Amino acid sequence: MTVHAQTVPVCNHFGDCFTAFFKKVFGIFTAYDRALYAHNTFERLFSMSDQELAEFGIKRDDIPQLITRKMGWSKE
């Protein structure tokens, strides 16, 4: 996993800096929440049997593509 340094833009007023800082913090928590959701979904689907997956019309090999599409990370 690659970690990118986040920079807070230079601000002229305290309120602007305060808002920019919390937007960055909120963005970090949002990204973490989305990654955790994708991980939990992946784990849940991979723990199912092939028969259970077939009931949903899913093959085990399709799980990663399914999750990336659902999360909007797919380039398709």
CA distances from 67 to 3, 28, 36, 71 (A): 22, 20, 12, 6
Domain-located, residue 42: yes
Domain count, the chain: 1
Residue 71 is assigned to a structural domain of this protein: yes
- Is 10 a domain residue? no
**Higher-confidence residue: 75 or 31?**
31
Does residue 73 or residue 60 have the better pLDDT?
60
pLDDT in tens, 22-39: 999 999 999 999 999 999
Q: How far apart (Å, rounded) are the C-alpha atoms in residues 23 and 27?
A: 6
**What's the domain range around 57?**
31-76
Q: Which of 45, 35, 37 is nearest to 66 (CA)?
A: 45
Q: Give the residue from 30, 8, 28, 29 showing the smallest Cα distance to 20.
A: 8
